[in-house]
Amino acid sequence: MGSLTKRQKEQKKYNLPELSMTAEQEKYYHYCINNNIRISPIGISDTPGKWYIGISTPDNYRKIYKSKHIYDRDQVWNAMFEMCKYYYDKK
């Protein structure tokens, strides 16, 4: 009862991993939220298990800039927090 089926295991590797933040990452993330800078993973529909990082800034909030790099589930949250830190450091 506690084991996953083959399909569930396959599906799990395509889902985003659970989010856990350090105190520093939380500070960077909340800075972006409070300054209307939206940063979030964007799934790639034809490549399951891969994400871009999307950024929307207050000056043109309808335009979403996608990262040049593609991230997998082990990299996506760290990449997002690095981008949050970039905007935090720019202040």
Residue 6 forms part of a structural domain = no
Q: How many domains does the chain have?
A: 1
Q: Is 16 part of any domain?
A: no
Task: Check pLDDT > 80 for residue 4.
Answer: no
Query: What pLDDT, in 10s, does the model give residues 39-87?
Result: 999 999 888 889 999 999 999 888 999 999 999 988 999 999 999 999 9
Specify if 21 maps to a domain. Answer: no
Instruction: Specify if 71 maps to a domain.
Output: yes
Output the pLDDT for position 11. 56
Gyration radius of the chain over CA positions? 15
Does 22 fall in a domain?
A: no
Q: What is the pLDDT of residue 9?
A: 57
Q: What is the 3-state secondary structure (H, E, C) of the chain?
A: CCCCCHHHHHHHCCCCCCCCCCHHHHHHHHHHHHCCCEEEEEECCCCCCEEEEEEECHHHCCCCEECCCCEECCCHHHHHHHHHHHHHHHC
Per the CB < 8 A criterion, the answer to whether 48 and 89 are in contact is: no
User: 88: domain range?
Assistant: 37-91
The residue among 12 and 22 whose pLDDT is bigger is: 22
Query: Does residue 9 fall inside a structural domain?
Result: no
